[in-house]
Structure 1
């Protein structure tokens, strides 16, 4: 290459430019140029091999009026994001081709609909529109299917969702009116997902033309058996059999992968029939189309004017029914494309599949006659581990984490610049809000397990997923992260993989969240007892961490199994509602569960709202009047004057005024170590000390010992209260995401505890880990691996330390 570049340097300038252009075309066009700009989000997604879906813009510039087109554009991008993909809306703005548009750019383009300098752009138009910008003439444009395919391919995008394909017009044998979409499919390797082609076209000749161009055409069966029709846009049936039929998105992804791997230079067309509830019967549409074509002929509407004229007449003749049908089919196509793109990304991430080797990844477990609880190995093959990866799945873990594995969506409010909403921090209720939406693998238990894993601990995640697209994506992602996965069980329908949607304000602080964790909440005691609890006895972990996404009785079953194995029990409350499951009411408990929950968990990490919820639940159950509670409180030796002054000195007057340390102290008889997460104010540690705890005689711990046992109780030694303020507080502009920050803190904390450190010795490191996640777009920052060396330097516990480690 150096010799080539040297030779180019000696050429005439004009020839040098020509050779440079030639070399540029040899490279993958994933970088920006003066004619093509790819958004940072799309480039990052392509680089990380995330699923990306291209979206056209003619539908906005020449289909729907402003501002309806803005709402549709925003909605379709949201459909891609909520189904696990990254949208890449493609169009021309000010004479520059854009692949991926910001909300401001989308508004600029859609608001130009109907203006003289806003054009409908196909292959033949791109050079003119992009080139004329250099001469001072700037155009906006919506790209057709052909135009969108070209720009998507230049960017490296493989899947494109649209409404209906262009085709061979009726009477094309004399008019030669054939859409450029068809020839583009024959020369550009992009997969187009549409609702067939528009009903007023000549469908049999369109399919014949596509066959001549070497374009693979298939229709999604959509639940139908046997041969199915190629769809006719508004109608599910056209009277013309589809050349091929595919069952689902997995099969579609397999075909695309083979097409790209060979590689073949032509595209693929997957026809997705309009949803049943939105379809218009074929017999009804046939009459309307014949009349619309007759009127078009009478009006002399031909060439590029033919399709808009006919569409407008169909709208009139259907009494407007074609418009909601249009919306329904395009949304269905975009959703289908996002799922196909996600399946393709999963497939390309599995080495055995990428090399064409047969694996059982595509073996559907739906028709299995076996139990409805299956391990990961029955669904997907784990990739080979390298020598640098951590402990193998069969090795006994130090930590077992039981709880939610979910697909998370983070919706960050992004008020539009130059609008009245720009000064607002929080999204507005009862309306649509502009946002940046990200999708990633999450769930409290997953995040905690990942954080501990990144920091060098051997971790086993115990959770359940559905036999669905989200579940398969989760399994592949876990395997690629090198985490143990044999504790993940796959449940057949109607179970759904857990999902979590967080809505954050403009500063990335949580405004509200919606969680569907029914897959865990519906688990029975028998399921848990047979599937997971034996593993605790088998592996004898140092720590069992359980989140509150389980039902109350199941939560207690986990606690009892962990206690029997001598493990440290950590409890993550998850939310204000679910936190109260710790205090399962007596009517819900089996006979062998004590009414008073004495130290079922050794450690809990609530935020201030969850702490308040725990306190309220204990109050409602009248646990603060139980004799066992009073025994512990009396043994603490709290002075008759109370603890307001020492608490104010140890924590802060603001926290004392809110009653936060007081509430945590009152909960100590149930949970002896409570770390209350205070956001930017840090973490409040409240700890019940045993009678022989060395901190009772330590000068360095003395400022934090707020009371000592005064009645000779053999178990209680005193109380330790300490506020840990963070070394670093990030400003609003520095915070990338708050999702998973608390989970990261807990994962780092237990990673240190299983190394034999006391809780107060680990908090600072857990803080540092949380800050890394605040700065990361991921729920758990990959940069936590940089803290692993410090954790590993602490060394493993000795057997002697293990015996008394619950004093930590």
Structure 2
């Protein structure tokens, strides 16, 4: 009977071919719009996940549909991929929707279900609609998005052997090389005949997890076995991944493409057990809804929305709860599959998309992982501030900081083009941050709706000292291991990774594990006393190459490790330097070097003696290839107190200059001087990182022209 269905549907080939011609033209014209974030991710080879929109327009009532759409996009982001919800608005196909566009689709009453066959009409008439699984697959493939997440696919309707009611989703899977991650087939359908039809179409079907039993959408058990099983995200990515016949272009396809089959892959993910609905309850609701549909003569594309609505009503809302739970679970799994797939493909291709040969070197950028803040800087006019609730005359300015952002800013200005990973809220502050940071690569920065962009308020005395700092930094906890793992290949290939103390402990431990496994050079910036010890709460810190604390942070680190520390820190220069060296020595048993920032006293560098100089370069990060330990104190470039405008980014600017010199292969002395010069410029700037920091102001000629105090050096026991 299934064979008869295939023969009957085959007669539509000529008409479908005409549709394809129109669609292909439209995807390269003004009818096709790609969201800038999606476009950037695709061009840079970051993982992207396609999402359908009929689940918004026809699958759920408002406001659950809008809330679900937003939450699913956020889940995709937090698990390492870029969401691209596909829909049609006013006759234009959109790959990636703005939040207000999601709301339009969620609240509109007169929108169409848009499958492949409907696209020519909808586009030509300037209509709007939600794309079905088939429509979304087709658009995703044209946009070079390899992974598509949905709730459940369509299939053969119950009684389809008589009605020939078969979803276009199945034929699309048979001819479009996209991996579809779903909770199987909607329970309102004939699951057995659907699996048979997929076999006829040559579609590779695999369950995800421990069982081969094909899920029944709302519940785990359908009574049917899938042909194959993949245990985890990596196995699913391996199933999907292939080397395109004509070389790499970050366009992925099913392995069947390598055999010129051109079919898709269906990954069936069971609904979470604790949120699955009762199979018996759902089946009874389906029977009631199906009988009602027959009595009312409802068929065609109106049938599925009707059945889903009535099943939800007959199940007292249980089916909707399970539907929302399973789409969220699919989004989480699908995003991780897309991230794993990207890592596989990047291993085969260079950054420009060309095939990578085994011995080819790959030009890479440093990676910075850390916080972004909107800074409110209040500087008092007088050196002594009045307390007790009194108002101090001052100047108040807004700027943009955060330790990670400052490091990435400084490195960007010095031509090192770092890849920056961070998280902001999706609010008015984040829009300002993006405008301000337009000179930086911000494609690794996640924006989360419902969260506040981090804000920091600094109160500075007239003499330039920080008197008080207040911060709303909760969003930094969203720089999760799952999100960062989406950039694993960038981390693996980076010449240097910098991570700041705003990042959660679990993420720091994850980075340290990668550093241990891949022999990465990782520099840790402690940020402040309370966060300084994060890597040192376990053995993770032993994988670090370098840390850059101030004296208070260095004392806190030693205290965490159980080493003796002074109760009070000295203020006299000679004693400050001695304390820095004493506290750094125990850490050098594992770390390559310790850079202790001392504010107005300059910087102390402690590390391994390599040919009479302290080694800083990542290529020399070898604990055993050194001639003992040594230390050097470099005095700061004097800046008059009346010229100090902002101290919040001086230490970060110092490290940015130092790291830029390190990456350029400069000698240690020149690296430190680049950092000190950068710090002096930022002290005079209203911005945390001075806009005057650039290749012209920080170069070899400028370094030679500067009058530098003699650095004091000595060997350590």
Q: TM tier, shorter chain?
A: 0.5 to 0.7
What does 1:27-66 correspond to in 2, within 5 Å?
33-66=29-62
1:146 Cα offset (Å): 0.9
- 1:177 is aligned to 2:194: no
Question: Could you give the per-residue CA deviations for residues 706-730 of structure 1, whole angstroms, max 9, x where no partner exists?
Answer: xxxxxxxxx999997536999999x
Q: Which residue of 1 aligns with 2:210?
A: 223
Contact 1:52 1:157 in 2 (8 A): yes
Q: Distance in 1 between matches of 2:683 and 2:43?
A: 26
Write the mapping of 1:481-496 to structure 2, written as runs, cut at 5 A.
481=494, 483=495
Aligned to 1:190: 178
Q: CA offsets, 1:517-543, max 9 Å, x none?
A: 5738999xxxx9xx89xx99xxxx9x9
Gapped runs of 5+ residues in structure 1? 1-20, 134-138, 355-380, 391-405, 419-430, 438-467, 486-497, 503-512, 563-568, 597-620, 637-662, 677-683, 691-714, 730-736, 777-783, 796-800
Give, in whole Å, the separation in 1 of the partners of 2:232 and 2:595. 50
Q: 1:168-317 alignment to 2 at 5 Å?
A: 168-220=156-208, 222-224=209-211, 228-258=212-242, 259=255, 260-317=257-314
Q: What is the Cα deviation at residue 414 of structure 1?
A: 2.9
Q: Report how far residue 166 of structure 1 moved.
A: 0.5
Determine the structure 1 residue equivalent to 2:443: none
Q: 2:116 aligns with which of 99, 123, 130?
A: 123
Specify whether residues 554 and 90 from structure 1 end up closer, same or farther in structure 2 by C-alpha distance, changes over 3 A only: closer
The equivalences for 1:133-148 within 5 A come to 133=126, 139-148=127-136
| 2:548 equivalent to 1:571 | yes
Question: Where in structure 2 are the equivalents of 1:87-106 lying within 5 Å?
Answer: 87-106=83-102
Relative contact order: is structure 1 or structure 2 higher (C-alpha 8 Å, sep ≥ 6)? Answer: 2
Q: Deviations over 1:676-711 (max 9, x none)?
A: 8xxxxxxx5334999xxxxxxxxxxxxxxxxxxxxx
In the aligned structure 2, how far is the partner of 1:53 from the partner of 1:176? 32
Q: Which whole-Å CA distance do the structure 2 matches of 1:770 and 1:192 have between them?
A: 53
- Per the alignment, residue 339 of structure 1 pairs with 336
Query: In 2, are the aligned partners of 1:664 and 1:674 still within 8 Å (CA)?
Result: no
Q: Displacement, 1:328?
A: 0.6
Q: Does 1:685 align with 2:600?
A: yes
Counterpart Cα distance in 2 of 1:348 and 1:168: 35
Distance 1:745 1:111, change over 3 A: farther
CA contact (8 A) 2:81 2:486 kept: no
The reply on whether 1:433 has 2:417 as its aligned counterpart is no
1:180-224 CA distance string (max 9 Å, x none):
11111112221111100111211111111111112111111x234
Post-superposition offset of 1:802: 9.7
SS of the counterpart of 2:601?
A: strand
Query: In structure 1, what is the Cα distance between the partners aligned to 2:643 and 2:326?
Result: 51
1:611 match: none
Q: Distance in 2 between matches of 1:477 and 1:200?
A: 44
Q: Which has the larger radius of gyration?
A: 1
> What CA distance in whole angstroms lies between the structure 2 residues aligned with 1:755 and 1:582?
25
Find out whether 1:744 has 2:646 as its counterpart: no
Residue equivalent to 1:804: 713
The within-5 A match list for 1:548-559 is 548-550=532-534
* Alignment counterpart, residue 327 of structure 2, candidates 326, 330, 345: 330
Normalising by the residue count of structure 1, what TM-score does the alignment of the two structures yield?
Answer: 0.54
CA distance in structure 2 between the aligned counterparts of 1:185 and 1:166, rounded to whole angstroms: 11
| CA–CA distance in structure 2, aligned partners of residues 579 and 223 of structure 1 | 50
Deviation at 1:159, TM superposition (A): 0.9
RMSD value over aligned CA atoms? 5.6
CA spacing shift, 1:146–1:665, aligned 2, 3 Å? same
Asked if 1:384 is matched to 2:293, the reply is no
Distance 1:23 1:180, change over 3 A: closer
| TM-score, scaled to structure 2 | 0.61
What is the number of equivalent residue pairs in this alignment? 530
- 8 A contact 2:499–2:524 mirrored in 1: no
Q: Secondary structure at the match of 1:242?
A: coil
> How far, CA to CA, are the matches of 1:41 and 1:716 in structure 2?
45
Q: Distance in 2 between matches of 1:233 and 1:553?
A: 43
1:300-345 per-position Cα deviation (integer Å, ceiling 9, x unaligned): 3222232222212211222111111111100111111111111111
| Alignment partner, residue 677 of structure 2 | 764
Give the match's secondary structure for 2:639.
strand
Distance 2:641 2:232 in 1: 53
Partner of residue 111, structure 1:
107
**Structure 2: gaps of 5 or more residues:** 1-19, 243-254, 366-418, 432-447, 455-480, 527-531, 585-593, 606-631, 705-709
Q: Map residues 351-500 of structure 1 onto 2, 5 A cutoff.
A: 351=348, 384-386=359-361, 408-415=421-428, 433=450, 475-481=488-494, 483=495
Checking the alignment, whether the CA contact within 8 Å between 1:673 and 1:686 is kept in structure 2 is no
Pair 1:749–1:720, CA change in 2 (3 A): same
Q: Judging changes above 3 Å, is the alpha-carbon distance between structure 1 residues 321 and 246 closer, same or farther for their aligned structure 2 residues?
A: same
